[in-house]
Amino acid sequence: MNYRHAFHAGNFADVMKHALLTRLLSYLAKKDKPFRVIDTHSGVGLYALDGDEASRTGEWLEGVAKLEQPFPPAVEELLVDYRRILADVKARYGETIYPGSPAITREMLRRQDRAILVELHPVDAEELKARYNSVSNIKVMHLDGWTALQSLIPPKENRGLVLIDPPFEKTDEFQRITREVVKAVHKWSNGVYAIWYPIKDQRQITRWADDLGQQLVRPALRLELMIDSGVDITRLNGCGLIVINPPWTLKAEAEVLLPALVERLGLNKKASCVIEELGPAQ
């Protein structure tokens, strides 16, 4: 493995993914019953935006840096948890530190909830262990994310979220997502699954998403943020999140949040978003 998320921390894709992650966790926390979060490809949890990797790409300047000015009230209401976590992490670790999904999860877990953070990269896994293994309701595992997924479900709480954010280094990554996720949903049908993916060729992504939806036994929501037209399929033009068993509020929230992110983070007037239902309910 050679993918290191530190080069991309705080970019437009992180903003979209993490803002929606806070909405999913907030929904799960509405009930007193405990829930479990399984993060299959965790990274290290915290990233220095002034570090060597992030400084080399500067991607955060076109992402989280553009959130300084407030959005309209309806959008800000959906960003409350995300903004709170950004502020808390900065106050605790420094002004240039950006939280990855493990840090966001930790901030939103209640005492009764639990999280398992899985990371295969040996250096990142050790850093993750040093940072979170001392937290009583978090466990870090140095393991392949796909192996962990199938072995950790269903959790004893029987409610929760699986976040899947693979490195997309292999040419068959999308096919593997379909295979592993369909298998997982059959095994744990009422879990919420959030699958992040990069978009270069949106037409190819549409074919994949449609195929995944046809194989699912549960409803899903396809959410995408395109920062460019997608004409040049050699570059990253956007990102997406497919949420299986989405909270009933998520579609309406996405209809408020994603257009606002398009306007703020889009590179030109060709920027757009996708909000589409998938699965057997359609």
Has 144 been labeled as part of a binding site?
yes
Has 101 been labeled as part of a binding site?
yes
Q: Which residue has the tokens 């239902």?
A: 277
Instruction: Retrieve residue 49's tokens.
Output: 């935006």
Has 8 been labeled as part of a binding site?
no
- Whether 165 is catalytic: yes
177-184 contacts, C-beta under 8 A, 24 or more apart: 177/212, 178/208, 178/211, 178/212, 178/215, 180/146, 180/149, 180/150, 181/212, 181/244, 182/212, 182/215, 182/216, 183/150, 184/149, 184/150, 184/153
Outline where DSSP puts E strands in 111-233: 114-119, 138-142, 160-164, 192-199, 220-226
Has 18 been labeled as part of a binding site?
yes
Has 88 been labeled as part of a binding site?
no
Q: Angle at the Cα of 127 (from 124 to 132), degrees rounded to 5?
A: 120
Which of 39, 81, 113, 165 is the catalytic position?
165
> Catalytic positions, please?
165
Which segments are annotated as binding site for S-adenosyl-L-methionine?
A: 18, 41, 101, 119, 144-145, 165
